[in-house]
Amino acid sequence: MSFEGKVCLITGGAQGIGRAVGERFMREGAAIGVLDINAAAKDEVIAGFTELGGRIHFETCDVSDQASAEAAVEATAEALGGVDYLINCAARHLTFYSQPPTQLPRDHWRLLLEVNVIGIVNVSAACRPFMARRGGGAIVNFSSIAGFNVTGYDGVSKLAVRGRTNALATEFGPDNIRVCGVAPGFVMSPAAAADVSSAVRERLLGQQVVKRVGEMADVVNAVRFLCSDEASFVSGETLLVSGGFPLRP
């Protein structure tokens, strides 16, 4: 599998798993568009990707703002020649948003849904015409195991991402655009390493069938598969990448 000549846009691609996805795709020939709210990261991101030898374009973007998303996608498509893949990785998450529903401040509740759910709609809609012009493409939305065991607002938003994935797969299908999702479990990203306590790590590890901590490469491999031609008959599916927790019948 190779992504030579393809263009991959990644929201939240300046760091963590999003950046790891971009680096993998660039190594396999893709040009990378990074859409991230962290404007201060621009120079470092461009320098880091440039070292890999491919084309990179960075746009500061607030995915929750429709005008910002549309402008960033248009500028990236113009700079790189189009859009083939979109990875919706930008999200508000981690333990702060795992509070019981009535305890999370309402302004954070709104921000969570605006970024995690509406942000996917904004960027996906902006990418659709550029993908259609190139004969189709693939979108991968980031959900979470929290969307399969809903107890807090993070789980509510990730459950909504799964539903949004199904809805977009149906809506975008006529343009030959497949829409899938990945739902990571505990993965040792820099953000998770800094946010999750050792006690929580041990509890999650104990629930898994695969008794090791997930690595960012595990998620990157899943995203790569879902974008590849080997997954050309897969759409509307959210793939758990979680060491076998939770198991589904």
Nearest Cα residue to 29 out of 3, 48, 49: 3
Q: Is residue 249 a part of any domain in this protein?
A: no
Long-range contacts of the stretch 100-109 (C-beta < 8 A, 24+): 100/151, 100/152, 101/152, 101/153, 101/156, 104/152, 104/153, 108/153, 109/153
Compute, in degrees rounded to 10, the torsion defined by CA atoms 51, 189, 30, 226: 170
CATH of the domain at 229: 3.40.50.720
Q: Is residue 239 a part of any domain in this protein?
A: no
Q: Is residue 125 a part of any domain in this protein?
A: yes
Q: What is the pLDDT of residue 105?
A: 80
Q: What domain count does the chain have?
A: 1
Active site residues: 153
Distance of CA 232 to the CA centre of its chain: 19
Q: Is residue 248 a part of any domain in this protein?
A: no
Q: Is residue 247 a part of any domain in this protein?
A: no
Q: Is residue 243 a part of any domain in this protein?
A: no
Distance, CA of 186 to CA of 222 (rounded, Å) = 15
Q: Is residue 102 a part of any domain in this protein?
A: yes
Domain containing 206 equals: 7-234
Where do we find the tokens 């949004």?
164
Q: Is residue 177 a part of any domain in this protein?
A: yes
pTM of the entire predicted model: 0.94
Tell me what the mean pLDDT of segment 87-95 comes to.
84
Q: What is the pLDDT of residues 159-205, one digit of tens each?
A: 999 999 999 999 999 999 999 999 999 898 887 777 677 887 888 88
